[in-house]
Structure 1
Amino acid sequence: MFDIDISELARATGVRASTLRFYEEKGLIASTGRRGLKRLFSATVTERLSLIALGRASGFSLDEIAAMLGGPNPKVQDIDRTRLRGKAAELDRRIDQLTRMRDGLTHAADCKVPQLMDCPHFLRIVKVAGARRRYRAEAV
């Protein structure tokens, strides 16, 4: 299979050339050489870019993705499944938190009290949100 230049890769994947250069600097992908001033990439790098996109959509940082993929080689050897399980657990916690927030907001929108600040359920939500905010500020 022939190598493709950076503009062809950008067009084929929808990933901007500047992002491809950045990914190369971060060690996520590797070019195979140059054609004139343009970087060349193996056509198989498209699979790696898809893995990077999946990782980003799942909430992994680029550094975490680089560590999981084990370097810039276009061929993925194996992905760290322990990290995948950890991220899945983190997503479960976030989904649970978002579900509680959605349910609270729905309750607040449907609450029959004339003034929302008179709703005990809504006041508990406000109190919890304030406590979380203070906790985060203290942690920093």
Structure 2
Amino acid sequence: MPDLDIAEVARRAAVPASTLRYYEEKGLIASTGRRGLRRQFDPGVLERLALIALGRSAGFSLDEIARMFAPDGRPRIDRGMLADKADELDRTIRELRVLSDSLRHAAVCPAPSHLECPTFRRILRSAATGTAPAPAVPRRRTPRP
């Protein structure tokens, strides 16, 4: 398959050409040359860009992603690094679940004002200190006669 010009790579990878130039500057991808003023890329760059996109969506920095490739350009992904990132994502998910549950509680809290709701006050304290709020404690409902 012939080389692809930068516009075609940008279209297929759904990234701006400026991102491709930046990735090339960072050493994440390499062009094979130029045709006129346009950079040319081997079609294999699309798979590499897909790996970069996956790494970015998982929260890896570009420097971390760069270390996932061997000097010959082949993927060399450290499984321990993947496990550590998965653990980090799990912690973030738990923190976001607690925050979501707390906000849902505050939304239906029977207190006359949010500032009178203990759960909402806990959310405010957590926001001020940059910590995750403790899980909302569900109120026991007493059955109506």
> TM-score band (shorter)?
0.7 to 0.9
What pairs up with 1:1-140 in 2 under 5 angstroms?
1-71=1-71, 73=73, 76-132=74-130
- Distance in 2 between residues matched to 1:38 and 1:31, nearest whole Å: 10
Measure how far apart 1:42 and its partner are: 0.5
Per-residue deviation, 1:129: 2.2
Q: Which runs of 4+ in 1 moved over 3 A?
A: none
Aligned residue-pair number: 131
Deviation at 1:96, TM superposition (A): 0.6
Q: Which amino acid aligns with 2:69?
A: L
Deviations 1:77-109 (A, max 9, x none): 321111111111110111011001000000000
SS in 2 for 1:117: helix
Determine if contact 1:28/1:71 at 8 Å carries over to the other structure: no
**How far apart in 2 are the matches of 1:65 and 1:92?**
20
Contact 2:29 2:45 in 1 (8 A): yes
3-state secondary structure, aligned to 1:114: coil
Opposite residue 76 of structure 2, the aligned amino acid is D
TM-score (norm 1): 0.86
Q: Equivalents in 1 of 2:19, 2:113: separation in Å?
A: 49
Highest RCO, 1 vs 2 (Cα 8 Å, sep ≥ 6):
1
Q: Displacement of 1:71 after TM fit?
A: 4.8
RMSD: 1.6
Question: In structure 2, what residue type is equivalent to 1:57?
Answer: S
Per-residue CA distance 1:23-58 (angstroms, 9 max, x = gap): 000111011111122111100110011111111111
Sort the Cα spacing of 1:65 and 1:72 in 2 relative to 1 into closer, same or farther, 3 A: farther
Summarize deviations over 1:64-83 as a string: whole Å, max 9, x none: 1111223572xx23211111
Q: Report the structure number with the largest CA radius of gyration.
A: 2
Query: Percent identity over the alignment?
Result: 56
Does the CA-based 8 Å contact 2:68-2:75 persist in structure 1?
no
Task: Return the offset for 1:125.
Answer: 2.1
